[in-house]
Amino acid sequence: MEYKKNEKVYDEKVLEIARVSRTVKGGKRISFRALVAIGDKNGRVGVSLGKGVEVATAIKKASNRAKKNIKNVKLNDNSSILREVTFSYGSSTVLLKPAPQGTSIIAGGVVRAISELAGIKNLVAKVYKSNNKKNTAYATIGALLQASKAGENGS
Compute the half-sphere exposure of residue 66: CA atoms within 13 Å on the CB side of its CA.
Answer: 34
pLDDT on residue 5: 53
- For residue range 86-107, list pLDDT tens digits in order: 999 999 999 999 999 988 999 9
- For residue range 11-61, list pLDDT tens digits in order: 999 999 999 999 999 999 999 999 999 999 999 999 999 999 999 999 999
| Of 53, 52, 48, 41, nearest in space to 64 by CA | 48
7 pLDDT higher than 70: no
For 73-152, which CATH class? alpha beta
The Cα–Cα gap between 122 and 9 comes to 23
Domain with CATH 3.30.160.20 in the chain: 11-71
pLDDT on residue 8: 72
pLDDT on residue 78: 85
- For residue range 139-153, list pLDDT tens digits in order: 999 999 999 886 565
Dihedral pair phi/psi, residue 29, rounded to 5°:
-105, 125
Q: Which fold has domain 11-71?
A: Double Stranded RNA Binding Domain (3.30.160)
pTM of the model: 0.88
Q: Are strands 123-129 and 105-106 parallel, antiparallel or unpaired?
A: parallel
Domain with CATH 3.30.230.10 in the chain: 73-152
pLDDT on residue 1: 47
- For residue range 54-90, list pLDDT tens digits in order: 999 999 999 999 999 999 999 888 888 999 999 999 9
